[in-house]
């Protein structure tokens, strides 16, 4: 009888280095239960033959896991998304084949909430224009009219899940009036958090001085914020997105910034990311970070440890958690 341990395959995009090839954290968590191997793959290429024999796959970034890919897996007991979003995985296909799809929804809660607030403060207090002016050896405070007192502003959230709540609490502590819209949240939850609920997305948009996106990408939310929705925001409002790029339509957002119909935007995620042209990058009053809101050494260790523990449970035939299908 073979004594070979089951394989846990970690799939990482070739152009990104999220973890060391030796997968030290995962290997330690799976010691004696599975062997661990990191595969650096191209987004559009097929999977290595060895991966098709793996009993659990841990997926970094947006490695596509289509119906065809899932159908080719021979022994897979779990597909685990290293992160919150799982829109790159065909969860229905996996469900049909009895394969759990799990994510790690709580590893970066603090980091993403902090990042959303940091972008909001940078916009409300015009940190980047002031930095640029000071470095030009100027001192005229040309953006003084855009600098806002937080206690006079409404902070609007689209979505009040884990990260949305963490962001709402931070915004409330800073003095914002906090308002949210989330059609999937039961009545009364907002009372526990101490924030207000908008009756509709349109109501939220009209009221918000800062609109912060905190919902998953899905058929319901893709393209949710487009030309019509942006027009409902005040010209003095700011938009912040640390969720998924395709929730906010890029072209109308950049047009609104160029035309002065929106005061600014802070994006950690962009539709069709990254930015594609110098003209996009030169859009006025735009702050863009590199889909990095989740990043911190502490968060990465937590995420990788959780993924490895889910893989361990799947291989041992134990119940898995964070299942999304």
3-state secondary structure of 197: strand
Per the residue annotation, which of 244, 302, 304, 312 is the catalytic one? 244
Does the annotation count 291 as an active-site position? yes
Give the Cα separation of 148 and 124 in Å (integer). 5
Beta carbons of 126 and 146 less than 8 angstroms apart: yes
Q: Which of 115, 177, 291, 312 is catalytic?
A: 291
CA distance linking residue 270 with residue 265, whole number of Å: 11
Q: Are 296 and 115 in contact (CB under 8 A)?
A: no
CA 244 to chain centre: 5
Q: Tell me which residue of 316, 292, 325 sits closest to 83, measured CA to CA.
A: 292
What values do phi and psi take at 263, rounded to 5? -75, -25
**Distance of alpha carbon 264 from alpha carbon 77, whole angstroms:** 45
Report the C-alpha dihedral over residues 116, 117, 118, 119, rounded to 10 degrees: 50
Six-digit token string for 110: 């603090």
Residue 244 falls in the annotated catalytic set: yes
Structure tokens at 41: 């793959």
| 8-state DSSP, 293 | T
Residues 6+ apart with CB under 8 A from 163: 84, 108, 109, 112, 113, 116, 214, 242, 243
Catalytic, 196? Answer no
133, 196, 271, 273: the active-site residue:
273
Q: Which residues are catalytic?
A: 244, 273, 291
């Amino acid at each position: 009888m073979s004594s070979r341990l089951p394989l846990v395959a970690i799939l990482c995009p070739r152009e990104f280095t999220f973890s060391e090839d030796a997968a030290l954290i995962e290997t330690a968590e799976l010691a004696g239960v599975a062997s661990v191997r990191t595969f650096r793959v191209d987004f559009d290429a097929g999977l290595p033959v060895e991966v098709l024999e793996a009993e659990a796959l841990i997926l970094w970034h947006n490695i596509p896991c289509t119906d065809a890919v899932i159908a080719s897996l021979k022994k897979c007991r779990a597909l685990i998304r290293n992160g919150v979003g799982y829109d790159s995985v065909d969860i229905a296909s996996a469900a049909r084949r009895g394969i759990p799809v799990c994510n790690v929804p709580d590893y970066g809660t603090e980091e993403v909430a902090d990042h959303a607030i940091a972008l909001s403060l940078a916009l409300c207090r015009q940190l980047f224009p002031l930095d640029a002016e000071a470095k030009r050896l100027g001192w005229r405070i040309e953006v003084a009219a855009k600098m806002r007192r937080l206690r006079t502003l409404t902070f609007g959230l689209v979505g009040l899940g884990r990260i949305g709540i963490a962001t709402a609490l931070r915004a409330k502590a800073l003095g914002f009036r906090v308002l949210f819209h989330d059609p999937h949240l039961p009545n009364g939850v907002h009372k526990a958090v101490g924030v207000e609920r908008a009756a509709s997305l349109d109501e939220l948009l009209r009221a918000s001085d800062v609109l912060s996106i905190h919902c998953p990408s899905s058929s319901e939310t893709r393209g949710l914020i487009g030309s019509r929705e942006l027009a409902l925001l005040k010209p003095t409002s700011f938009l912040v997105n640390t969720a998924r790029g395709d929730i906010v339509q890029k072209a109308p957002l950049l047009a609104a910034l160029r035309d002065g119909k929106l005061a600014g935007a802070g994006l950690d995620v962009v539709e069709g990311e990254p930015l594609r042209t110098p003209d996009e990058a030169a859009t006025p009053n735009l702050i863009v970070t590199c889909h990095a809101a989740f990043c911190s050494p502490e968060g990465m260790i937590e995420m990788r440890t959780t993924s490895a523990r889910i893989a361990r449970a799947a291989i041992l035939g134990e119940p898995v958690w964070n299942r999304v299908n």
